[in-house]
Amino acid sequence: MSDFRNEFISFCIDCGVLRFGQFKTKAGRMSPYFFNAGLFNDGAMLGRLGQFYAKAILAAGQPFDMLFGPAYKGIPLAASVAIALAQAGRNVAYSFNRKEAKDHGEGGRTIGAPLAGQVLIVDDVISAGISVRESVELIRAEGAAACGVVIALDRLERGAGERSAVQEVRENFGLPVIAIADLDDLVQYLGARPELARELIEIEHYRQLYGADAHA
């Protein structure tokens, strides 16, 4: 596991963003862990989060021209990632959308730089893929092209079928999905810490029940 992935998981636990226990998911499953990116809610946490996104993007080597953050969670994410990339020597523009188009003032559906070229979508997680679909449609409507999606955590968990939401995005839109960390990274992290052995057992059991088939 890359050092930044290990550091990211530790960071999430320290911030209370990644928690262990019993949590009911939208699908009605009882998950032994819960990831809530909305709890990255101060300047220091958001700044460091942006740095982790930037490291994952640069490590992936995915070509892109600018960033797009889907409202609402994607807005601060895209801004923080743009800042972190600039600090790392890669200055790129970013844009985000309004939930409703504005017909006065500057108008339009987006705020920030005009969508152009190859656009990398920045979000927290992919659950049902609805946000990605809406983002891809908006980007195309503006004459640009979506070139990938970057998220914080890939749960590697199947949806209604055998595939995960991330796998469905890759297949349905032909887009690569970059994750700072995924469930395999979390399992490796827990396995190196005897004090978290109980959490590891619970997560391994959950993965046996709901983990996505890597070949689906």
Neighbours of 130 (CB within 10 A): 11
Catalytic residue status for 215: no
| Beta-strand pair 18-24/30-35 | antiparallel
Q: Tell the residue number behind the tokens 């998950």, with chain if given.
A: 31
Q: Containing H/E element for 54?
A: helix 43-60
Catalytic residue status for 102: yes
How far, in Å, CA of 74 to CA of 82, rounded? 12
Choose, from 55, 104, 205, 215, the residue flagged as catalytic.
104
| Beta strands in the chain, from DSSP E residues, in sequence order | 18-24, 30-35, 66-69, 93-102, 108-112, 118-122, 145-154, 177-182
Give the residue numbers marked as catalytic. 102, 104
